[in-house]
Structure 1
Amino acid sequence: MSARQAPKAEAPSSNTGAGIDANTDADIDIAPGTLGEGGMEMSDAMYRNIFEGVPCLVAVIDREFRVVKTNRTFDACLGSAPGRHCYEAFHHRARRCAVCPVGETFADGRFHTREEIGTYKDGTRGHWIVTTAPVADEEGRTVAAIKMCLDITPRKRLEEELAHSEEKYHAIFSNIPYCVFLLDPETLAVRECNDRCMTNYGRSREELLGRSFLSLFPMDEAARHSATLRRPGMINQARQVRGDGSVFFATIRLARCAYAGTEVLLAATTDITKRLEIERQLIQAGKMATVGEMATGMAHELNQPLTVIQTGVDLILRKLREGGELDREQLRTVAELMNEQIDRASGLINHVREFGRKSDLRREAVDVGGVLKRAFGIFREQFALRGISVDFRLPAYLPPVEAEMNRLEQVVINLLLNARDAIETRCAQDPAAGKRIEIAAEVAGGEVRVLMSDTGPGVPAHLREKIFEPFFTTKDPGKGTGLGLSISYGIVSDYGGRIEVLPPDAAPIPAHDGASGGASGGATPQTGARFLIRLPAAAGKAEKKI
């Protein structure tokens, strides 16, 4: 290696030039060096080929900012430029650029890199990565600068599209009308959340990020939801806690997705507190309509205990009027009988009063068999007077379900009253038709299933779905609100169950050993309506004997 070549390997910015003449198109005299192993020297022709062949725009610019040399790529893209000012050749400008990397290189003799937008000779504009390097003479003075422009237009276009996509994503993410949390799938820590989370939960972003999502549940419910939150699905009517300690109800939808190169758990929560309050008001309105029916049934139910009490009172008064002695044993028997009937009447009144109260949204383990018989108890005498028999076919044991007893009882009462009306409608047209309701239950597939069948006219196939719509009724005007089945559908759905109308030929629930029955017995009705209620059995609860 010659003494002239060594400095060029150590200090690329000190490349030697043979004098730059802005008025000539002479080649730059760049001293040859070594190339690879074996000490093969690079000829001037090879340097020229490299200069011409590099896939970027290259121009040599003198200290007057005039282009003195360009490569083939430059000429093809920008046209012939020697003698023109660089700002004219690159940018079609009439004066120097405010920020000029060539000027910066002349000022400090260093490399400079920046992005620029230039104009090609066909008028299109391109994005460039621009690098300028000094060209020094033998005395180390910067006599020219090399400007190299690499076209990055496709990359910039992708960056702009990505930025637009990111902007659109953030706009959607931030303004979506429900809370969205991105959670660590293992720890359930909040990794990201949108603006709605801060509004609904009354907490700042700093308070939410890094916090366990379980901490947004009441303390006594967090452990119960720990496993559920790690699986895709939905949690309905989950209680959530705001920063001020107030509680609201939410539906939580869970899904796994990719975020920033890792898998996260997406939890979208919707505040349903207002909706639940409206539903409660609607259910309460339905209850009040049902209470009217219950009052009629209660009148029949109270008639028997009142008759017994009246008979006992008449006996005592007659004895007193006649001046006869009251047999102590007879008096005790009459008093005990009257007391039993008073308890019965009091129980009926308390039942109706309790039923009419607003239901709590809290759930508890509810005995389905007990609810079925409790609901029927109000109408026992009324149904008997109308000649309608009710047969219960219940297994000896049924697991409880997670529900609220009064709301579940409302579902059963709605179905009983609909069955009563349907039976009487059919009997008005066909007096020979039977008057019978069957209530059967079973446990299957982790569900408690209740099937109520009647001997009414049934539900036509085209109405089996429509029948659950609000305000839909097949009764004559003034004889139904059209809310009973709609409310029942909503209540059962809230408990994770389903209510549906089965076709007449659907398989009945089989009889059970030790089943509790009603007065009539007989085969399951095949001609009328058949409503099936399916509720998930409460996990980990003991079975309840009926």
Structure 2
Amino acid sequence: MPRVEETRSELLAQLAEIQAKLARLDQSDPPERAAEEERHSADASASIGIAPRDPGRADVGLIEWDANDAISRWTTQAEQIFGWKAEEVLGKRWDEFRLVHERDITLVQQANRELLEGHVDFNTCFNRNYRKDGTVLNCEWFNTVRRNDHGEIVAVVSLPHDVTGRVRAESHMQHFQNAMRMITVGTSRSTGLAFFQALVRYISQSFSFRYVFVACIDQEHPNQARTIAFWSDGHLAENFVYSLAGSPTQNTVINRSMEFCADHVRRRFPNDATLAEFHAESYLATPLVGSAGDVVGVLAVMDDKPMEDRGDIREIIALFGDRTAIEIERSIAEASQHASRTRLRVLTEQLPAVLWTTDLDLRFTHSTGAGLKSLNQKPGQSVGQTLFEYFQIDDENFGPIAIHIRALQGISGTSVVEWAGLVFQVYVEPLRDPSGKIIGTIGLAQDISELKRVEQSLIQSEERFRRLIQHAPEAVVLLDTKTGHFVMVNEAAEKLYKYPAEKLLKMGPLDISPVVQADGQLSAEKSREVISKACAGETPIFEWTHRDALGNEIPCEIRLLSLEEGGRTIIRGSVTDVTEKKRAEESLKRLESELAHVARVSTMGEMVGGLAHELNQPLYAIQNFGKACGNLVAAEGAIDRDRLHQWLDKITSTAQFAGEILTRLRSFVSREPINKTTLDLDEIIQSALMLTKHDAQVAGIRVEYTPAPRLPPVKADNVHIQQVLVNLIKNAFDAVQNRSVGDPVVRISTEKQGDRVAVTVADNGAGLPPGNVPIFEAFCSTKTNALGLGLAISTTIVKAHGGTLQASNGPEFGAVFRFTLATAPQAD
């Protein structure tokens, strides 16, 4: 371990001077003593040849211990070295707080014992100490004893010297030398892949890096890199490809300089998937610069903990980066040569082609290639034959022979030749010696029989496709998304839009559409929306309003399909005129509305007796109160005006009640179409209960209504939902009158279900009929004197409101009918 190179006599002399100064300090005042201690500690550092490592922190302090090993003096320099203030340690022994490293306690005890037992007056001790913050220091202690006039030891004076930096530097130097030796020896005898694998291994083992890799820039995809050697967690791992975009490697390549991130590397490069995958915390990489000055790759290290910024490590990475770049270039050159040889072999042996050469007499000198197999020949089989002998013809104008003759004249040529039932594309060029003299011909023939067959099949397929489109019953248009114009329209499209084809081909969808569609959306906006869906691979089907040449609007249903043709995107649109369909739907709605109205009138006819009873009660009351008022006026004496006003108020309120009954009756039998408004469902149910109240009383049926608390309003038509409720309630009355379990009861309840409200009508009757009876179909009824339209009409009404009507048997008895309605949108 390092030692301050001072002789024993020199140190003893210096410590004697220190003792004298300490004696003077004992006799001085406290402020003077503190100042003197500061000067003395600095003088002590200078006296033993030690300069502080930085102005803000001392390297040498002064500590005095009494005969019991308790601290009696602790200077500011000691505080700077160890972190404890004087008031925290004065009076304490060194083993009463965490000052000495656990492994060096015995060493310190031995040094103290030598001094206190009088074996020596001076000694040194090298040991590890703790700062107050837990940092481990390497300190060299210079210790001497102080004696009184009787020669007794009264104190020990120590000068602790913090040599942590020097020890670390020497350790780093030793580590650097060992790492250089390990990496150099480990890679010296390797080349190519073996070199890269050895390099990443020994760099990782030398510096305890978790990940080390060599990566090459992908020549075909410059924004990607692929590793060629990857050391991970103590072994070679599978190589990977990663993107340079947003990565530290990109900085290394662009800046052509070393990239270092001591910690939080993923914060700096949040989009780097590789850093995230390996939980990297730190990163160091050097560019691998080729002989041409271009960056061919990187040598990089990563760790899942912070990385110390050390110049020696940077130096080693940069040094071996240069060697790695040379090795990569050599490997690329070898790979390129190997690829060239492989391509040549494939070209001459494996491709479905025939390669040959001839001499000046057009005699084959070489023939090879997998294409010979289709001609039932082997490589070299035709060598020695002339072209005339091979083709068994003497005509020099025969295509394959003619292009060889032109090649002998220095003219390259190509021709399509049919031979032995196959079609070949033939290329022939002059064959020259190194001096450029023509010595024969070289030719290549590729079997294109299948290609020709496919081309012919494609032509036929395209023709069939065009005929199918041209004669399709619906209008078909093809739209070029780049130009926004139609590139093809069929006869049905011309007839639908009343434009000739040549004019339609200069137009686009917006040219034959109104500005705003029927749903209120702008045509341009809706067009972009559906075309984007088609380009994304969807097949949108939607309603669209077109406008023909005469200005007539045409409601249509359109189906789009995306096609790729010649590098451009074509949208195929199938357009169906739904004018008649719309008319039929409107007619059906009118018929359904009329049928519902007839059913309401019929229902009202069935309930007319009960309703008359409901009206009789308020009318009878009005009559009685009217007579009473007449009698009161006719009586002699003063008129009791208070009672008169009271009876007149009764007549007014009773008349209003009768008026409400008539209003509800008139509304119920109205023939207005469905008009959805925001309604209170409870009010609709109360109106239905009023209309059926008399029937329930006459039949002795108990009706229970349980509304849900805080039920939101619904979007519905008041009259039509009343009709559904009256139908369901009357059906329940009929069911419990025929047979009930106990006293006849009909229960009505509501509940919220997400963005819907459910209304339930349940009875304690016999339940639904057995078997799969289609009770929701028109003219299907289980009652003898009924048309069977109630549930069918109710189903149509509920569906028109976007809800459902369902029926089931109760958990124990009776039937349960439930329908749902959408809640009204909440106001902002």
Q: Is the TM value for this pair above 0.5?
A: yes
Larger displacement relative to structure 2 (189-198 or 452-461): 189-198
Shift of 1:407: 3.5
Q: 1:358 aligns with which of 662, 669, 673?
A: 673
* Preserved CA contact (<8 Å) 2:357 2:440: yes
* Preserved CA contact (<8 Å) 2:413 2:429: no
User: Using the alignment, how far apart are the partners of 2:477 and 2:688 within structure 1?
Assistant: 42
Indicate the residue corresponding to 1:474 in structure 2.
Answer: 782
Structure 1 counterpart of 2:680, one-letter code: D
* Preserved CA contact (<8 Å) 2:749 2:761: yes
User: Using the alignment, how far apart are the partners of 2:411 and 2:440 within structure 1?
Assistant: 12
* Preserved CA contact (<8 Å) 2:808 2:815: yes
Structure 1 counterpart of 2:615, one-letter code: P
Structure 2 counterpart of 1:343, one-letter code: G
Shift of 1:212: 12
* Preserved CA contact (<8 Å) 1:391 1:437: yes
Indicate the residue corresponding to 1:452 in structure 2.
Answer: 761
Indicate the residue corresponding to 1:27 in structure 2.
Answer: none
Indicate the residue corresponding to 1:435 in structure 2.
Answer: 744
Alignment of 1:403 with 2:403, yes or no, is no
User: Using the alignment, how far apart are the partners of 1:497 and 1:253 within structure 2?
Assistant: 27
* Preserved CA contact (<8 Å) 1:301 1:382: no
Indicate the residue corresponding to 2:109 in structure 1.
Answer: none
Shift of 1:489: 3.1
Q: 1:335 to 1:375 in 2, by over 3 A?
A: closer
1:219 is paired with a residue whose SS is coil
User: Using the alignment, how far apart are the partners of 1:50 and 1:396 within structure 2?
Assistant: 84
Identity of aligned residues (%): 20
Q: 1:412 aligns with which of 725, 746, 765?
A: 725
Indicate the residue corresponding to 2:206 in structure 1.
Answer: none
1:218 is paired with a residue whose SS is coil
Q: 1:463 to 1:333 in 2, by over 3 A?
A: same
Q: Which runs of 5+ in 2 are unaligned?
A: 1-332, 335-343, 377-381
Structure 2 counterpart of 1:348, one-letter code: R
Indicate the residue corresponding to 1:56 in structure 2.
Answer: 353
Indicate the residue corresponding to 1:4 in structure 2.
Answer: none
Q: Which runs of 5+ in 1 are unaligned?
A: 1-35, 38-46, 90-94, 506-525
Q: What is the root-mean-square deviation of aligned Cα atoms in Å? A: 6.5
Show CA shifts across 1:454-483 (max 9, x none): 12211157438x43344433233x5133x4
Indicate the residue corresponding to 1:386 in structure 2.
Answer: 699
* Preserved CA contact (<8 Å) 1:383 1:389: yes
Alignment of 1:374 with 2:687, yes or no, is yes
User: Using the alignment, how far apart are the partners of 1:317 and 1:192 within structure 2?
Assistant: 89
Indicate the residue corresponding to 2:826 in structure 1.
Answer: 540
Indicate the residue corresponding to 2:586 in structure 1.
Answer: 277
Indicate the residue corresponding to 2:446 in structure 1.
Answer: 150
* Preserved CA contact (<8 Å) 2:755 2:823: yes
* Preserved CA contact (<8 Å) 2:362 2:404: no
Structure 1 counterpart of 2:772, one-letter code: L
Q: 1:158 to 1:470 in 2, by over 3 A?
A: farther
2:775 is paired with a residue whose SS is helix
- 1:496-515 maps to which residues of 2 (within 5 A)? 496-505=802-811
User: Using the alignment, how far apart are the partners of 1:268 and 1:372 within structure 2?
Assistant: 47
Shift of 1:293: 0.9
* Preserved CA contact (<8 Å) 1:448 1:537: yes
* Preserved CA contact (<8 Å) 1:61 1:146: yes
User: Using the alignment, how far apart are the partners of 1:390 and 1:137 within structure 2?
Assistant: 111
Q: 1:173 to 1:75 in 2, by over 3 A?
A: same
What is the number of residues matched between the two proteins? 439
Show CA shifts across 1:254-296 (max 9, x none): 9x99989999999999967356435524532144123201233
Structure 2 counterpart of 1:475, one-letter code: K
Indicate the residue corresponding to 2:795 in structure 1.
Answer: 489
Q: 1:325 to 1:495 in 2, by over 3 A?
A: same
* Preserved CA contact (<8 Å) 2:760 2:819: yes
Indicate the residue corresponding to 1:77 in structure 2.
Answer: 374
* Preserved CA contact (<8 Å) 1:414 1:484: yes
Structure 2 counterpart of 1:484, one-letter code: G
* Preserved CA contact (<8 Å) 2:356 2:444: yes
Structure 2 counterpart of 1:442, one-letter code: E
Shift of 1:402: 3.3
Structure 1 counterpart of 2:813, one-letter code: T
Q: Which has the larger radius of gyration?
A: 2
Q: 1:216 to 1:479 in 2, by over 3 A?
A: same
Q: TM-score, normalising length from structure 2?
A: 0.40
Q: 1:219 aligns with which of 517, 520, 533?
A: 520
Shift of 1:299: 4.4
2:813 is paired with a residue whose SS is coil
Structure 2 counterpart of 1:502, one-letter code: S
Show CA shifts across 1:297-342 (max 9, x none): 2442244325643675698699999x96898937845752564255
Q: 2:598 aligns with which of 288, 296, 310?
A: 288
Alignment of 1:424 with 2:737, yes or no, is yes
Structure 2 counterpart of 1:451, one-letter code: T
Q: 1:197 to 1:385 in 2, by over 3 A?
A: farther
Q: 1:275 to 1:532 in 2, by over 3 A?
A: farther
User: Using the alignment, how far apart are the partners of 2:375 and 2:590 within structure 1?
Assistant: 76
Shift of 1:529: 0.6
Q: 1:332 to 1:386 in 2, by over 3 A?
A: same
User: Using the alignment, how far apart are the partners of 2:716 and 2:477 within structure 1?
Assistant: 29
* Preserved CA contact (<8 Å) 2:736 2:764: yes
Show CA shifts across 1:388-439 (max 9, x none): 3322100242112333333333332332232222223326xxxx85322111
1:463 is paired with a residue whose SS is coil
User: Using the alignment, how far apart are the partners of 2:355 and 2:485 within structure 1?
Assistant: 51
Which of the pair has the greater relative contact order for Cα pairs under 8 Å at 6+ separation? Answer: 1
Structure 1 counterpart of 2:683, one-letter code: G
